[in-house]
């Protein structure tokens, strides 16, 4: 029986069927001999982190994949802050923010260009000009995570239950900052909304008059004259990964949100970079995973490449990216697949449709388990349709991670408990029964 697990997470792998691909998904249309070889020696099924049909962002979808209920989610902003090395206080609120080109129309701020191209020096000059502000007794600080992107950290009796301002579509006005309806009477939430609104208005005035934007206007370039914000969050207590599951975990990923998720859950973090060659990147990460098993029991290997290809709204391009990743799997997965101590899990966190208006969609994703003791079914191709015929059936929520515990010999028998503190693995650390001084 395996004692360790490697979870290969192909972010946004699943998709719609597209007429231009013969009414197939990009994964169905792609040639994937590396993944198909794994399928032939394992078990397949379908997976959804919550309920089929619910479209999820990666950060929420990852929690059930790692064994945690989505109620543990602290908000994307909080995870990005952790991943960027910002130490949040227990009552601070963090939200995503990036510079955008805004235009005043009929007394509103309209999103004209969501991501104007900015040289690093211009982005640094603009963001530093509006890096700190105070209103309503609430302090606002900007922490850059890359170029015009970063997190706003709010301190001083604040609440995370305020709305996003980002309309996500160019040509639409920014949304006002309002308390969520269920928190509309909460004084802290109302004050947070007013303070953030005041900061955004002030930032727009300062940035519109900034020398960098005046120079851009003279050069015929769009100004970066305001923020769009979204996904506020605040940290919450959560049982650490090792304490809860009896495994030392590691995440190998690029992207601040995954580094922050690792810190939040108590996984070690191996920070890697995307080189522009997704196959080379994945091959490198799989080799890192192999080496990491000397000190870790669970390794999460992540690539964002399928998701990013899906966002380009080009199904053929996404199929080619999948083929490149499959070549990396074929070259590097062998030592993991052949190791009797390793359970290999391959899946995705959500579907990213490469046509249509949706960012993510709510279809199921294929899942594969490979390793000693795993049942073998008749599936021979790793895709969304073929996997539906596998013996794993449809898995939801933390059920997939439950199978990880099962196949690594850590599944707790329901109703048993040998330690005062509840644990989701077996055996939990416990105090031995000791004899008295007379040996009785």
Number of structural domains, the chain?
Answer: 2
| Rounded Cα gap, residues 32 and 125, in angstroms | 46
Contact 164, 175 (CB under 8 A): yes
pLDDT, tens digit, 9 for 90 and up, residues 20-61 = 999 999 999 999 999 999 999 999 999 999 999 999 999 999
pLDDT of residue 437: 77
387 lies in some domain: yes
220 lies in some domain: yes
Q: pLDDT-based confidence at 440, cuts 50/70/90? A: low
Q: Is the peptide bond before 427 cis (omega within 30 degrees of 0)?
A: yes
Q: What is the four-CA torsion angle of 113, 115, 120, 121, rounded to 10 degrees? A: 20
Nearest of 46, 192, 77, 193 to residue 142 by alpha carbon: 77
- Its sign, for the CA torsion 13, 17, 18, 22, is positive
Q: pLDDT-based confidence at 94, cuts 50/70/90? A: very high
Does the pLDDT at position 87 exceed 90? no
pLDDT, tens digit, 9 for 90 and up, residues 407-416 = 999 999 999 9
In the listed set 181, 203, 233, which residue is the last one of a domain according to the structure?
Answer: 233
Domain of residue 10: give its range. 4-73+238-407
Q: Say whether both 284 and 218 belong to one domain.
A: no
Helix axes 399-407, 58-65, angle to 10 degrees: 40
pLDDT of residue 146: 87
In the listed set 197, 212, 233, which residue is the last one of a domain according to the structure?
Answer: 233
Instruction: Give buried/exposed letters for 60-95 (b at 16+ CB in 10 A, else e).
Output: bbbbbbbbbebebbbbbbbbbbbbbebebeeebbbb
Q: Say whether both 339 and 257 belong to one domain.
A: yes
Residue 2 gets which letter from DSSP? -
226 lies in some domain: yes
Q: Say whether both 110 and 182 belong to one domain.
A: yes
227 lies in some domain: yes
pLDDT of residue 388: 97
Residue the block writes with tokens 């596998």: 390
| Beta-carbon count within 10 A of 338 CB | 10
Q: Which 3 state secondary structure label does DSSP give 345?
A: strand
Q: pLDDT-based confidence at 421, cuts 50/70/90? A: confident
| Beta-carbon count within 10 A of 114 CB | 15
CATH of the domain at 13: 3.40.720.10
Any bridge partners for residue 351, and if so which?
13, 361
pLDDT, tens digit, 9 for 90 and up, residues 235-288 = 999 999 999 999 999 999 999 999 999 999 999 999 999 999 999 999 999 999
Q: Say whether both 29 and 103 belong to one domain.
A: no
CB within 8 Å of 370: residues ≥ 6 apart = 38, 41, 42, 43, 337, 343, 344, 345, 346
pLDDT of residue 430: 92
Q: Say whether both 271 and 395 belong to one domain.
A: yes
Q: Say whether both 253 and 217 belong to one domain.
A: no
Instruction: Give buried/exposed letters for 133-143 (b at 16+ CB in 10 A, else e).
Output: bebbebbbbbb
Q: Which 3 state secondary structure label does DSSP give 229?
A: strand
| Mean pLDDT over the full length of the chain | 96
425 lies in some domain: no
Q: How many CA atoms lie less than 13 Å away from 125 in the CB half-sphere?
A: 16
Percentage of residues of the chain with pLDDT beyond 70:
100
Region 369-390 average pLDDT? 97
Q: Say whether both 179 and 308 belong to one domain.
A: no
Residue the block writes with tokens 């691909």: 21
Top pLDDT among 439 and 14 is at 14
Residue 18 gets which letter from DSSP? B
Contact 213, 200 (CB under 8 A): no
365 lies in some domain: yes
| Rounded Cα gap, residues 420 and 422, in angstroms | 6
Region 321-331 average pLDDT? 98
Joined together, the tokens standing for residue 377 give 């079914």
Q: Say whether both 68 and 90 belong to one domain.
A: no
In the listed set 233, 249, 269, which residue is the last one of a domain according to the structure?
Answer: 233
430 lies in some domain: no
Q: pLDDT-based confidence at 11, cuts 50/70/90? A: very high
| Rounded Cα gap, residues 66 and 43, in angstroms | 19
Q: Which 3 state secondary structure label does DSSP give 180?
A: coil
Confidence (pTM): 0.92
Q: Say whether both 166 and 109 belong to one domain.
A: yes
Q: Say whether both 51 and 193 belong to one domain.
A: no
| Rounded Cα gap, residues 288 and 200, in angstroms | 43
pLDDT of residue 439: 67
Does the pLDDT at position 395 exceed 80? yes
Helix axes 315-332, 278-292, angle to 10 degrees: 40
Phi then psi dihedrals of residue 253, to 5 deg: -160, 160
| Rounded Cα gap, residues 39 and 23, in angstroms | 23
Does the pLDDT at position 438 exceed 90? no
pLDDT of residue 210: 98
Q: Say whether both 67 and 125 belong to one domain.
A: no
pLDDT, tens digit, 9 for 90 and up, residues 126-177 = 999 999 999 999 999 999 998 899 999 999 999 999 999 999 899 999 999 9
DSSP strands (E only) in 265-357: 268-271, 298-303, 342-347
pLDDT, tens digit, 9 for 90 and up, residues 332-356 = 999 999 999 999 999 999 999 999 9
pLDDT, tens digit, 9 for 90 and up, residues 59-70 = 999 999 999 999
pLDDT of residue 408: 98
Percentage of residues of the chain with pLDDT beyond 90:
96
Q: Which 3 state secondary structure label does DSSP give 320?
A: helix
Q: Range with the lowest mean pLDDT among 196-210, 239-253, 307-321, 425-439?
A: 425-439
Q: Say whether both 107 and 211 belong to one domain.
A: yes
259 lies in some domain: yes
């Amino acid at each position: 029986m395996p004692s360790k697990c490697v979870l290969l997470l192909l972010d946004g792998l699943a998709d719609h069927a597209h007429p231009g691909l013969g009414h197939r998904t990009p994964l169905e249309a792609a040639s994937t001999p590396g993944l198909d070889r794994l399928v032939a020696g394992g078990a397949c099924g379908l997976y959804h982190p919550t309920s089929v049909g619910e479209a999820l962002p990666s950060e929420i979808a990852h929690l059930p994949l790692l064994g945690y209920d989505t109620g543990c989610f602290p908000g994307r902003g909080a995870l990005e802050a952790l991943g960027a090395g910002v130490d949040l206080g227990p009552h601070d609120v963090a939200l995503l923010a990036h510079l955008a080109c805004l235009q005043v129309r009929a007394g509103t701020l309209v999103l004209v260009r969501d991501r104007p191209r900015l040289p690093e020096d211009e982005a640094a000059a603009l963001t530093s000009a509006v890096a700190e502000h105070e209103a309503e007794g609430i302090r606002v600080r900007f922490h850059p995570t890359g170029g015009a992107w970063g997190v706003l950290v709010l301190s001083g009796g604040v609440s995370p239950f305020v709305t996003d301002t980002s309309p996500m579509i160019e040509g639409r006005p920014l949304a006002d900052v309002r308390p969520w309806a269920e928190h509309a009477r909460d004084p802290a939430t109302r004050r947070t909304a007013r303070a953030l609104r005041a900061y955004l208005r002030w930032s727009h005035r300062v940035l519109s008059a900034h020398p960098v934007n005046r120079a851009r206007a003279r050069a015929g370039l769009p100004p970066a004259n305001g923020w769009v914000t979204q996904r506020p969050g605040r940290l919450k207590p959560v049982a650490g990964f090792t304490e809860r599951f009896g495994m030392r975990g590691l995440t190998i990923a690029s992207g601040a949100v995954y580094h922050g998720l690792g810190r939040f859950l108590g996984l070690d973090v191996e920070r890697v970079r995307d080189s522009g060659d997704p196959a080379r990147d994945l091959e490198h990460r799989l080799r890192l995973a192999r080496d990491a098993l000397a000190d870790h029991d669970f390794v999460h290997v992540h690539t964002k490449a399928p998701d990013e290809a899906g966002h380009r709204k080009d199904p053929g391009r996404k199929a080619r990216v999948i083929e490149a990743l499959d070549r990396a799997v074929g070259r590097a997965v062998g030592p993991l697949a052949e190791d009797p101590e390793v359970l290999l899990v391959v899946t995705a966190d959500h579907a990213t449709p490469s046509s249509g208006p949706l960012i993510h969609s709510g279809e199921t994703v294929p899942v594969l388990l490979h390793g000693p003791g795993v049942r073998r079914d008749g599936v021979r191709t790793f895709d969304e349709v073929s996997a539906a015929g596998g013996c794993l059936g449809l898995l939801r929520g933390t059920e997939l991670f439950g199978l990880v515990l099962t196949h690594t010999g850590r599944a707790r028998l329901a109703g048993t408990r040998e330690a005062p503190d509840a644990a989701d693995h077996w055996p939990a650390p416990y105090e031995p029964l000791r004899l008295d001084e007379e040996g009785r």
